[in-house]
């Protein structure tokens, strides 16, 4: 059962553009929503995370928007750079359980 649905599967953006990746979840017990960035041959690395008590979190060029009523959250990468080319995973965690449920991933390519 896929509990976190992620789209699109792949994304091509021009340098300087905005990259947007969307995720939807089903389990209302989830209370922590991280985004991970993974480069080829590397493990996933935490990029930014949000809890459902806020609607937006911004760190540098990366912003998470969270819509609790719709059970959706998204990652926005402003001023996308070729170095941002990687696979991005959204995930969700249930309180007290600490089990990461990952989305299927989005392969982002930023063209110069």
Using the minimum distance from each CB to other proteins, give the nearer residue, 99 or 112: 99
Rounded CA separation 98/25 (Å): 16
Measured from the CB of residue 30, what is the shortest distance to other proteins in angstroms?
A: 11
Measured from the CB of residue 25, what is the shortest distance to other proteins in angstroms?
A: 13
Q: Phi/psi zone of residue 47: left (φ > 0), alpha (ψ -120 to 50 degrees), beta?
A: alpha
Binding residue for other proteins, selected from 29, 45, 54, 78, defined by CB under 8 A: 45
Binding residue for other proteins, selected from 25, 77, 89, 108, defined by CB under 8 A: 89
> Using CB atoms within 10 A of its CB, is residue 28 exposed (0-12), middle (13-18) or buried (19+)?
exposed
Report if residue 43 touches other proteins, rule: CB under 8 A: yes
What are the residues whose beta carbons fall under 8 Å from the beta carbon of 56, sequence distance 6 or more? 50, 63, 64, 65, 66
Contacting residues toward other proteins, per CB under 8 A: 6, 32, 34, 36, 41-46, 49, 89, 91, 93, 96, 98-100, 102-105
């Amino acid at each position: 059962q896929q509990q976190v649905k992620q789209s699109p599967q792949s994304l091509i953006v021009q340098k300087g553009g905005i990259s947007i990746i969307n995720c939807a979840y089903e389990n209302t017990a989830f209370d922590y929503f991280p985004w991970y960035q993974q480069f080829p041959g590397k493990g996933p690395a935490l990029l930014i995370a949000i809890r459902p008590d806020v609607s937006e979190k911004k760190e540098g060029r990366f912003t998470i928007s969270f819509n609790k009523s719709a059970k959706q959250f998204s990652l926005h990468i402003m001023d996308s750079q070729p170095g941002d080319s990687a696979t991005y995973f959204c995930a969700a965690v249930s309180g007290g359980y600490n089990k990461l449920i990952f989305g299927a991933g989005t392969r982002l390519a930023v063209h110069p």
